[in-house]
Every structure is written in structure tokens, then in C-alpha cells.
Amino acid sequence: MTAGPASRSAGPGRIPPLRADLGLGEGYHSPQVAARVRLNTNESPMPPPEAWVRAVQDELGRVPWHRYPDRAAWALREAIADVHGVHAEQVWCANGSNEVLQTLLLAYGGPGRSVAVWEPTYALHSHIAELTGTAVLAGRRGSDLTLDLDEVRRVVEAGQPTVTFLCSPNNPTGESVPPATVDEVLGRAPGLVVVDEAYGQFAPTSALDRVADGQPLVVTRTYSKTWSLAGLRLGYCVAAREVVAAMERASLPYHLSWFTQSAGRLALDYVDDMERRVSRLVEERGRLVAGLSALPVQAWRSDANFVLFRPQTRRGDDVWKGLVDRSVLIRNCSSWSGLDDCLRVTVGSPEENDAFLGALEEVLA
């Protein structure tokens, strides 16, 4: 028998075992199967504007590459602050909103502290809590998958979480959290309330107007969905100055490259363009939901750029495989707790959505 990695025990010169508190959670990833139509990770179907690509190319010739980037990412934060009508000291940027969340929990989580989530929701909230040694208080969403205020009160009062996560719109169920609910949670939660608005631009309401110095509220946003820039890895939060200052302390120096800072700042010259894209996707979402309503599936209302649905005549797994056979890749949520047989489809281009609806009709026939 050859000695494989599993047969080696710890000792000098050996790889130590993984931190025990990381458990056996398998991390977060969407299986990447080769497919012609890819509607599984909620990206934009449209590439960014060509004028933006040219502006970034021009800018790259001017970057002092031999120098560290601006540690505070000031120009980018000022530009984002301008868009939202807040102060640059209330904005903090990182490599994707996931890194924003990780830094937030490095600053405010850790041993002896906890976060509250209501499942099914975005798996990274619990995963990042685990990575940072923060306990997870997992409540449940109601049987219709919306946030149940009684359950929110129960978890917050019993667990006294340091950080309470609201995902609005919620991934993967799609509905946004009404402003009155955000206020209610802000009034009851003993610590920070983080509203993850990765899909905020597709929703009718936002918690951004509730951010103020002294308020324990953090709203996170990302360039990955609306801004057609998932490849750039840029996200940010808007929060009270003291929270932003704490995040600065918990982050690595120069964590945001010149490239990311410049490209992100230049993207903000195309806000109108982005708003038109959002309108187009919201229109397509309506067409997708209408198409689904003509098929034997239960579909949930969505305020985001994806739709959760449950086939009623076949198992979710079989439908997912049938779609893959037809070169259409969507997200298989059917093994997630509370989401038996559920699938999630990203709103794509008109052609992609037609291809999906056509393939689904065939699979369900």
C-alpha cells in the first residue's frame, strides 16, 4: 500500500489537521457544468459597456504600478458615496461583498459572539461566520419562505446575536424585506443589523436611506450582479462612520488593487446605462415568470434577477438533469434544507430565457 496523504499522521514536517471548528461544511460552490445557456449564478447576461472597457484601458496606462495603491481607496469611496448621497467615511470597499461580510465578522464576530440568519438564505452568511469562529443562530423562514416576524423576534430575543443578517432580496427565494420589517428588526436586535442588498437595484425598496452615523445598520452592495462586473470582484457597504473605521482596522493593508479601484470608479460614469439594464432585466423577469406560470411549476415572487420554482410533476433533481442534457444550466437547490425539489433560474437575455423555457417545457412534458 502506498502512503497517501490520509495515512500520514501529524508530526514534524507534516501538514496539520484543519482547524476543528471548521466542521465538515463543504464550502459554497455552484457546480460548473459545461452548458450553452448558463443561468446558475445570477450574473448579468450583458457584458459591461464598451466605453467603460476603453476608459479602463486608458486609465491603466496612467497607474503607478510600482507603488502600493491608495490604502483608503478614497477616490472610489467618494464616487460611491456620491451615488448614494452619503459621506465617503460611510463607505467601505472590498474584493466582492463577500469580503465586506468577512471583514465585518473579523471586526465584530469571533469566539463568544453570534450571528442570526433565517434559512433558507444565502449560505455564505453562515459560512463566513464559521470561518471567523462566530456562532450561528439559524432561524427558519415561514412555510411560504418569507421572513416570519415572530420567528425573527424569537431568535433575536433568545440568542442576542452580535450581528443579525437580513438578505434583501433574499437569495435564493427572491423576496425583499419591507422597510417596516427592517425598522422592526433594528428596534429589537441587540447588535449590528446587516442588510445584504446584492440584488438591491432590482427591488422596489432599500434600507440605504436608514443608514446614519450612530445607527447599528450596515447595507452591503456588489458590482457582481447589476453592474455586469462579477469578474472585477468589487463590493461595498454603506454604514455608520464608526463601523467603517472598525472594518478598516480588521482588513489587510492595500487589500484593494489599483485596478479594482480604478475600474470600479470608472464604472460609476455609466449609472444610466446600468439603470437601463436593470429595467430590461426586470421586464425579462416578468416574461420569465409568465412563462413559468403556463407550466406545472410553483414559482415564487421575485424582487431580484432570479426566480425560485418547484416543478410539480417531476423531482427537482430530474428536471435539473434534463435541463443540463439540453445544455441549460440553472441552480439546483433541491437538496437545501426547506427547498425540496426547488430550482433557481437567473434572468438571462431574451434568447437565454426562451431557451430555458423551451427546454423546461420539454422536460416537464
Q: Which residue is nearest to ligand PLP (CB)?
A: 96
Q: Which amino acid is at 67?
A: R
Nearer to ligand PLP, 227 or 270 (CB): 227
Decide: residue 253, CB within 10 A, 0-12 exposed, 13-18 middle, 19+ buried: exposed
Shortest Å, Cβ 304 to ligand PLP: 8
Nearer to ligand PLP, 101 or 243 (CB): 101
For CA atoms 37, 41, 49, 68, the dihedral sign is negative
Shortest Å, Cβ 362 to ligand PLP: 29
Shortest Å, Cβ 138 to ligand PLP: 16
C-alpha cell read off for 287: 416574461
Other Cβ atoms closer than 10 A to 287 = 14
Residues contacting residue 307 through CB under 8 Å, at least 6 positions apart: 174, 285, 288, 289, 292, 299, 300, 344, 345, 347
Shortest Å, Cβ 96 to ligand PLP: 3
Residues contacting residue 30 through CB under 8 Å, at least 6 positions apart: 40, 41, 331
By the criterion CB under 6 A, which residues form the site for ligand PLP? 42, 96-98, 122, 167, 171, 196, 198, 222, 224, 235
Give the alpha-carbon dihedral of 85, 89, 95, 98, to 10 degrees: -80
Shortest Å, Cβ 122 to ligand PLP: 4
Nearer to ligand PLP, 196 or 341 (CB): 196
Residue 112, by phi and psi: left (phi above 0), alpha (psi -120 to 50) or beta? left
Nearer to ligand PLP, 167 or 238 (CB): 167
Helix (H) or strand (E) segment spanning residue 221: strand 217-222
Nearer to ligand PLP, 221 or 326 (CB): 221
Shortest Å, Cβ 169 to ligand PLP: 8
Nearer to ligand PLP, 88 or 124 (CB): 124
